[in-house]
Chains A and B, each alone.
Chain A
Amino acid sequence: MTILKNRLFWPAAILLALLIVNVFTSNQFITLQDGHLFGTLIDILRGSAPLILVSLGMTLVISTGGIDLSVGSVMAISGAVACLLIKDLGNQNAVGSVLLIMAVAIAVSAALGLWNGSLVAIVGIQPIIATLILMVAGRGLAQLITAGQIINVQSSPYATIATGFFLTLPVAFLIALAAIGLIAVLTRRTALGLLLESVGGSPSASRLAGIQAKRITVMVYVVSGALAGLAGLIYSANIKSADSIYAGNLIELDAILAVVIGGTALIGGRFSILGTVLGAVLIQTLQVTVVGIGVPSKATLLFKAVVVVVLCLSQSVTFREKVFGRFKSRPAVRAEVPA
């Protein structure tokens, strides 16, 4: 009974249902092949890594009552920077150089996050507009970096972060796991989580409680930028090329959706890391399921709409009460107020 009341029960149930559908539609749901795990489930885990990363950052931003629309553009920039640098390497397979380049790309992304954070916290621009600026201009920057073309790289260490396997598990998923762990520790083992929730819950009360909301806000956007950058690397490593136009296109919407499904309110305050991860995996699974059961492309959006409707209704306490509550005993019917 208490499980049923948990906010995350219904998303989890829908995720499970979708996974079960996939067990039937796929040739291999999960098997061991070429020394690593393989199958639809693994595809889902691997494919959801970028979205998980972006959604993690988004969760923190949203918990302060903000929003970050620029994540997609940051992904594009990060991938473009990395591919541009890797392409010019003498030996594209030099692990050290590739790692260094990835660090540079993430640093660039973090700097972009710093820009966002400063606009929000110091200049005082509403987050949606502050990050919209980078959303628009950032993609232009990415296109400028790649000259509007797709930059191909042939670097196996780079490709590994997206397509490689370690201990039979996909590296991309392991990276996502590490990020989840890091963010969880960062927010729940320190006091950061509390301070974030407090800033999101009531900025004015937080200020009077002596919380340095500005510093925290800036930090959150930096983290979001860095995570988006990492997601951009995985995205581009997956196709071994930098696609400045489509990388991260519309991912902000999916990320926000994942956060909301995970039980974090858009107005800020309480947030749930686990919920967000669940939301992100759910969205990815939905994507895969659409292909798996062969929903015709023109009906894909309708199918998604139905799932999202079911999801948001099932998460609504009042809806459940109204639909299932009829079976509960209710107090005797009372007359209406005389007008």
Chain B
Amino acid sequence: MTTIDATPPSTNQKAAVNPRRRVYRPNTKYIPILATLALLIVMYVSGIANYRNFDQPSVVVNLFRDNAVLLVVTVGMTFVILTGGIDLSVGAVISLTTTLTATLLQGGWPPLLVLPLVLLLGALLGAGMGAVIHYFKVEPFIATLAGLFLARGLALFINQESIPIRDKLWTTLSDMRIPLGEHTRTTPTAVVALSAVLIAAAVLAWTRFGRNVYAIGGSADSALLMGLPVARTRIAVYTVSGFCAALGGVLYTINSTSGHALQGSGTELDAIASCVIGGVLLTGGAGYVFGSLLGVLVYGMIGTIINFQGDLNSAWTRIVVGILLFGFILLQRLVTRRAR
């Protein structure tokens, strides 16, 4: 540092408009979400144009009701995927929760004990998987697959049959309707699911834990070197996911007033797909819960359209689901690519 005088570069810093300032661009990070939302609305409007009674408010309300479980599970999954992990066990945790809840309630356990118990169990299972993943450096895929086998295995072991729930609290919740408008009412399950989304969004945006989730997803090594609590955070996201899955299971039992060891199977894939459709990157570090919410709604909307179509046999149902999904993703790509 003997030759160069440092004055010239520092002089231009004081220029009125800083010439070095990077070109301002509109907030590009929200473009994917906005595009997804726009496409969802297009889908809805074309549903109204094509099908009788599609314009009923209950179509929208039911979208949230019917997908309450998926929504809650997807919220948990979003946390996991944001850290770059994956949780295959969620569907099985739903199975276990519904089976256990139904069995315990049938056995006369007090409902106010059963509820926290099953939620705790889900969270513990998640924490266990998280600990194995973090401390033993086991691939999330394989650790949570073992969790899947374990949870569903336990459920089947406890009871293979479909068990009705006749508990007062559960049936009351199940029958409860929350009026939204003149002819529209919704259920507590939908409210719980939406609250989960809001809480998760707030946690991710405004808390240290939330930001650590993103940091780990960006680069776990860097996060560690930056002195972030990687172990705690990583275990926590799997705990959140386990908790959400258990909560989803509880919502399931409320929705259907029954428990069954095969309930919720395949939910993991739906949840992962919803996250990804909503713009969450599987490699971690990018995405929003609201995106995941939109992903769930897209999924639900596809189902609704197929139900309204009503003349597809199983084969065509699958094909049309595939085509709609493809069309949606393709448009989403095109729109976001343009806008960037």
A residues sitting closer than 8 Å to B (CB atoms) are 69, 123-126, 128-130, 132-134, 136-141, 143-144, 148, 253, 256-257, 260-261, 265-267, 298-305, 308-309, 312-313, 315-319, 322
Contacts and interface: CB of A to CB of B under 8 A. Distances in A.
B204 interface: no
Contact of A140 (B136, B315, B330): B315
A129 B329 contact: yes
A138 B325 CA distance: 13
Given A133-B322, A136-B325, A316-B136, A301 B142 contact: no
B49 interface: no
Nearest to B270: A132
Contact of B153 (A125, A141, A256, A305): A305
A134 B323 CA distance: 9
B139 interface: yes
Interface in B249-279: 269, 272-273, 276-277
Main secondary structure of the interface of B (DSSP, over half): helix
Main secondary structure of the interface of A (DSSP, over half): helix
Contact of B273 (A123, A129, A304): A129
A134 B154 contact: no
Interface string B140-164: 0111011001101110110010000
B199 interface: no
Contacts of A316: 136-138
A307 to B, nearest CB: 9
A300 to B, nearest CB: 8
A300 B160 CA distance: 12
Interface string B221-234: 00000000000000
A304 B313 contact: no
B29 interface: no
Contacts of A309: 146, 150
Contacts of B273: 128-129, 132
B90 to A, nearest CB: 14
A138 to B, nearest CB: 8
26 contacts: A69-B269, A125-B333, A133-B322, A136-B322, A140-B314, A140-B317, A140-B319, A148-B313, A148-B314, A253-B145, A260-B139, A298-B156, A299-B153, A299-B156, A300-B153, A302-B149, A302-B157, A308-B145, A309-B150, A312-B142, A312-B143, A312-B146, A316-B138, A318-B137, A319-B135, A319-B138
A248 to B, nearest CB: 14
Contact of A308 (B142, B152, B276): B142
Contacts of B145: 253, 257, 308
Contacts, number: 126
Contacts of B132: 312-313
A134 B149 contact: no
A301 B154 CA distance: 8
A201 B52 CA distance: 52
Given A133-B322, A318-B136, A304 B153 contact: yes
Contacts of A129: 273, 276-277, 325, 329
B30 interface: no
A256 B135 CA distance: 22
Nearest to B326: A133
B318 A143 contact: yes
A257 B148 CA distance: 13
A133 B141 contact: no
A129 B143 CA distance: 22
B141 A256 contact: yes
Contacts of B139: 260, 265-266, 312
Given A302-B153, A308-B146, 10 more contacts: A136-B322, A137-B321, A148-B313, A266-B141, A298-B156, A298-B157, A301-B156, A305-B146, A305-B150, A312-B146
A301 B89 CA distance: 13
B282 interface: yes
Nearest to A130: B329
A257 B142 contact: yes
Given A266-B141, A312-B143, A133 B149 contact: no
A128 B272 contact: yes
Interchain residue pairs A-B with the least CB separation, the first 9: A137-B322, A140-B318, A301-B153, A302-B153, A305-B149, A143-B315, A140-B319, A316-B136, A305-B150
B281 interface: yes
A133 B143 CA distance: 26
Contacts of A139: 318
